[in-house]
């Protein structure tokens, strides 16, 4: 996992950023910050501390969390340095990442609602 994060790796973030990531976006200290921001966003959206409770989360949910955290971190990375691409490419990347985030948060909330019913 990323040195300062729990839910996603640097490699997952770079995959979410996509082709032609800038040196700023590749820099590990930046990806560490962005993953921490993404983890905080997940906590704020779901109302559950996935980082603290990571050991008790099942493998399938960990995969969903990795997708959400890495894409959210990529969102911050792309917004921080948009000079790698033209405006239309940047906007397309942000739109795709935002769509993944919104859909994933909905799925995550559904999962949390189901677990409260079954527990």
Any idea where the domains of the chain sit in the sequence?
10-118
Distance (Å, whole) CA 98 – CA 41: 13
Answer yes or no: are the C-beta atoms of 2 and 27 closer than 8 Å.
Answer: no
- Residues 35 and 68: their CA atoms lie apart, in Å, by 10
In the predicted structure, residue 117 carries a pLDDT above the cut 70: no
Q: Which of 23-27, 45-49, 75-79 has the lowest mean pLDDT?
A: 23-27
State the pTM of this model.
0.88
The average confidence (pLDDT) of the chain is: 89
Cα(35)–Cα(71) distance, integer angstroms = 9
Arithmetic mean of pLDDT, 12-16 = 92
Could you tell me if residue 47 is left (phi over 0), alpha (psi between -120 and 50 degrees) or otherwise beta? left
What is the DSSP-derived secondary structure letter of residue 52?
Answer: T
Tell me the C-alpha distance between 48 and 70, whole Å: 18
Give me the pLDDT at residue 29, please: 86
Mean pLDDT of 78-91: 86
Q: What is the pLDDT of residues 36-62, one digit of tens each?
A: 999 999 999 999 999 999 999 999 999
């Amino acid at each position: 996992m990323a040195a300062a994060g729990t839910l996603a790796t640097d490699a997952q973030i770079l995959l979410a950023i996509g082709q032609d990531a800038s040196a700023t976006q590749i820099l590990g200290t930046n990806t560490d910050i962005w993953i921490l921001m993404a983890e905080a966003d997940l906590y704020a959206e779901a109302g559950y501390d996935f980082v603290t409770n990571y050991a008790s989360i099942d493998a399938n949910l960990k995969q969903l969390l990795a997708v959400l955290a890495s894409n959210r971190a990529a969102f911050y990375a792309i917004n921080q340095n948009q000079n790698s691409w033209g405006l239309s490419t940047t906007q397309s990347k942000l739109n795709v990442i935002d769509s993944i985030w919104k859909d994933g948060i909905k799925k995550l909330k559904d999962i949390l609602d189901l677990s409260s019913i079954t527990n």
